[in-house]
Chain A
Amino acid sequence: MTDAAVVRRVLDGDVGAFAILVERYYDRYARYAVHMVGSREEAEDALQDAFLRAYRSLARYEERERFGAWLFRIVMNQCRTVAAKRRRDETRAAEWVQETSEAHPAEHHALREELDRALARLTSEQREAVLLKYTEDFSYEEMAVITGTGVSALKMRVKRACERLRELLMEVYCV
């Protein structure tokens, strides 16, 4: 059954059919959300809110647009909100505390954790661009629709993000 057909079923009153869309898209967008907000718990919150917003807005979905891209835009906006809120929270929480140094992560996870650290050091826009392009495999044209940014600006953003990511990872691991 196509996404559009599922949406029609939900709008006709079959609320349970929404589970098909959740099952179809949750795991894929969880990957994006976790990388974007940097915490699994907050990513799960963002996804829950995003799916609920999608459900409430389902009547506004127009079938000429790919449902996955429409839903992704909601997920992306929710992740942006969570990431911004998290930055505010951390700033406020930091006022209460003195900086403490933390132990280096366990060796067997160090490589992967360095990637997460490098990703976190990109700007939010760069991180978003890299994830959309290389993790979610959106075309630049799709990315332009999703983000509201022009194709050439997105190409430049991805290029700079890749350069920065490469630089950060090479610093740590290149022989």
Chain B
Amino acid sequence: MFDGSDDVLDWAGRELRRPVATDPACKARIMECVRAEAPHRRRAGMRRRPGARTGWASPLVQLGLAAGIAGLIAMSALRPLTPSRAIGGTALGPTVLGDSVVNTLRDTLRFVRFMFVDPAASRVALVGDFNDWGARATPLVPAESTGVWSVAVALAPGRHRYAFVVDDTQWVADPSAFPLPHQHGARRTSVVTVTANPD
């Protein structure tokens, strides 16, 4: 393939300099986020420069604050479900529920409901990069005798990887969501993208 080691590095350099394909929507998304922050500053009654943002808490803190009101929002936004039975369970895809009415959280967190159908399961948990992949951190709650499991989670805008763990042993990616490829022997995960302003 190559005649000598310099050829190898020359070729590698040329390959690495090639442009990479990116999603054209990414640039628009950045500007959407930037514009979402700008009115926030104007509402404060004075023109501030970008670096002067206040009231920002880390996502973990926000998650903790939001947890207390997640249940109310989830209950008000639940939609009827037609449960289905599938071997190994069926994930129904994450659903963004709506903004919190709490001002301090409004611009930074969205509530996402994750649903999974498996009448035979004894336990279903949500694992993801938002809960440090802890199988005990976010258990799904079953609806009575329907086999539908669900949980609402407060997530910061951005892309989050997740999967379900059934009966503490079975790892299931969400077939209704965008899958990530296998990586270094890890099982498939799915991705949910939470936008700052979904409307």
Contacts and interface: CB of A to CB of B under 8 A. Distances in A.
A96 B162 CA distance: 13
Given A30-B22, A31-B19, A48 B5 contact: no
A3 B129 CA distance: 36
A173 B105 CA distance: 54
A28 B129 CA distance: 28
Contacts of B187: 93, 96-97
Contact of A15 (B2, B35, B159, B182): B35
Interface string B75-109: 00000000000000000000000000000000000
Given A23-B27, A94-B185, A173 B8 contact: yes
A93 B189 contact: yes
Interface residues of B, number: 51
B9 interface: yes
B38 to A, nearest CB: 4
A11 interface: yes
Given A31-B19, A57-B51, A169 B159 contact: no
A114 to B, nearest CB: 10
Contacts, number: 149
In this complex, the member of B3, B15, B20, B37 whose beta carbon has the largest number of chain A beta carbons within 10 angstroms is: B20
Interface string A3-27: 0000000110101101100110011
B34 A134 contact: no
- Looking at chain B's contact residues, the main secondary structure is mixed
A52 B30 contact: yes
A30 B133 contact: no
A166 B19 contact: no
Contacts of A89: 129, 133, 161, 186
A55 B22 contact: no
B133 A93 contact: yes
Interface string B14-50: 0111111111001101110111011000000001011
Interface of B: 1-3, 5, 8-9, 12-13, 15-23, 26-27, 29-31, 33-35, 37-38, 47, 49-53, 127, 129, 132-133, 158-159, 161, 165, 171, 180, 182-187, 189, 191
